Amino acid sequence: MINIEKEIKTTAEKVDAHLNSVLNCEDADLKAVFDAANYSLLSGGKRIRPFIILQFARALGGNEDVALDFAASLEMIHTYSLIHDDLPCMDNDDYRRGKLSNHKAFGEATALLAGDALLTDAFFVLSSANLHPGVLIEAIKLLSYNAGCRGMIGGQVMDMTPELLKDDFERLNKMYSLKTGALIITAAKLGCLAANVLDKKILSSAEEYARNIGVVFQIVDDILDRYGDEKDLGKPVGSDAKNDKTTCLSFISKEEAFEKAKQLTDEAVSSISNIPNNEILTSLAYFLLNRKK
């Protein structure tokens, strides 16, 4: 039986070790921005997006070194978005993962530049992977599209106008799919590309799996924020209600939301039936459905 939590932890350690090597600089004049970038990049976390990349790559017989480069590049993009999200002009958060947010530790200007550096260097890491140039071009197109205004950035823009989400469930789902789901879809498809797989049916299966678990991830987040155990979560519950934030529970009940998440999880698992060695990806889908934190 697969111990999915152990698999996630082991992969996260491997990804962290690789991330330690991607942003090194001995130039004292540049040290401040490298220190700030690494402060957030190496701050831990489950590394779910890198996990998805590596598991698709492994299932399809890919090169792990290539998959790690892809994983590092995506995690750099994700980290830059968190640094910028925390800035006073955005969410104005003082803490991230139990540590001072980047701008609180290094100042707003350095934090802004650290985010810019991670975004830019992510494509240097991605394009340096040892793959055929044609496949690398597809990977660059995929990541840049889904991290840009048609993907993650678009979702963030929608999230900045919460009044438009209050009475529109479809718009809320669109925001979730862009802000959170776009990078999860990117992870699944990058894992296929890391295995040199360009087959449209395989890529479509990976995308459907990722789209569904991305929605599940957000639904479960919404449920845990209202009904979760503070001891498990490690943070107070009820912040969404306190901040008058629109979530899926603004439209449907807890029971309806979980039933929807279960349906999407089953669809995610079914969508990868044509991908060999999919047991860990299947376990991940159910783990995300039933997580308590």
Is there a contact between 62 and 196 (Cβ–Cβ < 8 Å)?
yes
H or E element that contains 166: none
What was the pLDDT predicted at 97? Answer: 83
Q: What is the dihedral of CA 178, 179, 180, 186, to 10 degrees?
A: 60
pLDDT digits (tens, 9 = 90+) for 64-98: 999 999 999 999 999 999 999 999 998 888 888 88
Residues paired with 96 in a beta bridge: 99
Q: What is the DSSP letter of 195?
A: T
Q: List, in sequence order, every residue forming a beta bridge with 285; answer none if it has no partner.
A: none
Percent pLDDT > 70 in the chain is 97
Query: For residue 236, what are the CA distances in angstroms to 3, 212, 232, 239, 243?
Result: 28, 27, 10, 7, 13
99 strand-pairing partners: 96
pLDDT tier at 240, thresholds 50, 70, 90? confident
Q: Is the pLDDT of residue 276 over 60?
A: yes
pLDDT at 12: 95
Contact 92, 17 (CB under 8 A): no
Range of lowest pLDDT (137-146, 176-185, 240-249): 240-249
Which of the four pLDDT bands, split at 50, 70 and 90, describes residue 16? very high
Other beta carbons within 10 Å of 232 = 12
Model confidence pLDDT, tens digit, residues 144-193 = 999 999 999 999 999 888 888 988 999 999 999 999 999 999 999 999 99
* CA–CA separation, 104 and 229 (whole Å): 29
Residue 233 pLDDT greater than 80, yes or no: no
Q: Is residue 229's pLDDT more than 80? A: no
pLDDT at 234 over 60: no
pTM recorded for the entire structure:
0.93
Q: Give me the pLDDT at residue 193, please.
A: 98
- Predicted pLDDT of residue 284: 97
The residue type found at 225 is D
Res 226 pLDDT > 90: no
Mean residue pLDDT across the chain: 93
Asked if 102 contacts 40 with a C-beta cutoff of 8 angstroms, the reply is: yes
- Kindly state the percentage of the chain with pLDDT values over 90: 82
d(CA 36, CA 112): 10
pLDDT for res 21: 92
> If DSSP codes are grouped into helix, strand and coil, which group holds residue 257?
helix
Which pLDDT band holds residue 116 (cuts at 50, 70, 90)?
very high
pLDDT of residue 232: 62
